[in-house]
Amino acid sequence: DAGITQSPRHKVTETGTPVTLRCHQTENHRYMYWYRQDPGHGLRLIHYSYGVKDTDKGEVSDGYSVSRSKTEDFLLTLESATSSQTSVYFCAISGGLAGGPKGQETQYFGPGTRLLVL
């Protein structure tokens, strides 16, 4: 593994509750991403970050927010969880060192978080 951890690894929650997923990297990479993976849809980008406090939306960002206050941590928050947000969530990192030249190339994934919203 590329030094990426996610917590929690499994979570069951109820509709309407807020949920925060954490991604932590030890690689000092500039770019961090949150994806969700659902059958028939593949990996879809929710949000990504290109530096501390620099984030942008992906293709399925509605209902999600993110924060990155430190290079190593990228948080994903479901503001009010819905059953449609039941999914497997993957964090990924890519690129060069934070603060260095523009990141590029390979993307590595964390182990994933299985979220069930009842």
Partner 1 sequence: QKEVEQNSGPLSVPEGAIASLNCTYSDRVSQSFFWYRQYSGKSPELIMSIYSNGDKEDGRFTAQLNKASQYVSLLIRDSQPSDSATYLCAVRSSGNQFYFGTGTSLTVIP
Query: Smaller CB distance to partner 1: residue 7 or 106?
Result: 106
What is the CA 15 to chain-centroid distance, rounded?
A: 20
Q: Please report the DSSP string for 15-69 in residue order.
A: TT--EEEEEEESS-EEEEEEEEEETTTEEEEEEEEEETTEEEE-TT-TTEEEEEE
Residue among 18 and 111 whose Cβ is closer to partner 1: 111
**Given candidates 85, 90, 115, 117, which one binds partner 1 under the rule CB under 8 A?**
90
Give the CA radius of gyration of the chain. 14
Closer CB to partner 1, residue 42 or residue 53? Answer: 42
Among 11-19, 69-77, 78-86, 108-116, the segment contacting partner 1 (CB under 8 A): 108-116
CB count within 10 Å of CB 34 equals: 28
> Which residue's entry shows tokens 């501390």?
52
Asked if 85 touches partner 1 (CB under 8 A), the answer is no
Using the contact rule CB under 8 A, the part of the chain among 11-19, 41-49, 69-77, 78-86 near partner 1 is 41-49
102 scored as a contact of partner 1 (CB under 8 A): yes
